[in-house]
Structure 1
Amino acid sequence: MNGVEAMDAALLGVLGLLVGSFLNVVVHRLPKMMEMRWATECADLTDVGAKEGHAEEPPFNLMVPRSRCPHCGHAIQWFENIPVASYLVLRGRCRSCHAGISPRYPAVELLNAALFAWCGWHWGLTWTAAAWCGFSAALLALACIDWDTTLLPDDITLPLLWAGLCASALGIIDTTLPDALWGAVAGYLSLWLVYWAFKLITGKEGMGYGDFKLYAALGAWFGWQALVSIILMASLIGAAIGLGIKVLGKLREGGYVPFGPFLAIAGATAMITGPGTFLRFIGL
């Protein structure tokens, strides 16, 4: 790595820390925002709470209210929210009540910084690096949200899909627009067909529609040729982790393991190593 590459990696790595801090907010708040939106829609349809004088809920989005400690309600100050550094200075505890802070917060920040730094090292300070940084951040947020809630929000999967198509159309990424378009189509339809085949045979739902959209987005970024490699990688990773969780007795109620995180891992791996590397690794 020469000096220019190191500088580009460092600059995007710092940006990745800051974006990673914001991703923690997205992971925590976006599912709650979705639940509030669903509750409002249900209330509108059933006229529940529609009577005059019904108090409106205070605004809750990615910007407001300010972040607070879930244990004591202490408002997080700016100097308590510096990525990684604040966690280390506070020794992983709230400054007010000393309750423990999840180590996943700095982990997300560091992982996003590493992905951004890799993009900076590989592509420099270019629009291509910016596109893949956005791709990485979206995958990281989706993986965390799906693991926590088994939800893959349209607010992220659909923009990710359209971003892949636009990036290919503009020549920002190497995937051509026809390959990206058919990658999106094939990605969605393939899992949709698997879903319905599994449901007809077993009467159960093996995955959600969010998985279809995420796989379509990966097809848009890498092209239809990469879909087999990505799904095989995701399936093997998911099987290994699922087996480990089962052996440890940590399966959640219903024995369900979300598939989205493994698709995200496969997508990030394809970005770093190339989508065909996994097939060559297993001799295909």
Structure 2
Amino acid sequence: MLWIPIKLFIETVYRRVIPLYSFDQRGRPFLASSAVPFQDNGFFFLITATHCCFQNGKPLPLFVYGENKPHALTECRIAWEYSPGKSPDLDIAVIALDENCAEDLQKRHLFCSPEDVRTTMPRTPGIHYLIAGYPASRNRRRPPALGLPSRATALITGEIGIVDSVNGVDKTPNHHFSIEFPYEKVPAPGGGDFYVPPPYGMSGGGVWRVEIDMRERLVGRPYLVGIGIEYHKKDKTFVATKVQAAAPLAQDLRSFSKRKE
């Protein structure tokens, strides 16, 4: 296993999540949510939360920013259908990327692949979970002339749990898990304290399982296990959908994309 310093791992976590931008009613761009870039045998797409890319069943206008230019997300996107009280609320979606967009994003971001996917584990000494995304509080709206905001946040904890302990609707242990994060400040990897920002806007970001050697301050290979979909302020708990729920969507998305070609 390749081990890297915790500080380096945290500082480069922004490469594992992509900010999704949209437009307000006045046509001004803003950072709306987060997504995880993924590739499978040359097919490139984003995994995110359904509510981050659909509104009332209609696609939200979204774009991403590559090395030096924006790319509108106009390719196919699909999500699980949800019937309140009748089916689990998976709240997970996939968005296809065209060739130019995928090539450009690879210059700044690391795309996960099926080899990087694992399942969650019960609370285990040394096993932690990293939650990464772009909270709105660190990416406030500003004039376009100042550039697009893109400050990622990474939170690490071993407090994984089941969704039965959270007051969520239509969430099941088969498809979801929870992560408690009650801290207002945590030690920063480079020294000092990091004050945890309100996590709203991190929806659609990823959750990785990592092994950490606290004595040597080293992190093992990260494995993608989920996509963040909710934050419960009262419980100070995140709810995530297990990333395996995206696999059937990705297969269908690939088929739709081939037909389009």
Regarding TM over 0.5, the answer is no
Greater relative CO (CA pairs within 8 A, separation 6+): 2
- The TM-score, its normalising length taken from structure 2, stands at 0.27
Between Structure 1 and Structure 2, which shows a larger proportion of strand residues? Answer: 2
Between Structure 1 and Structure 2, which shows a larger proportion of helix residues? Answer: 1
> Which structure has the bigger radius of gyration?
1
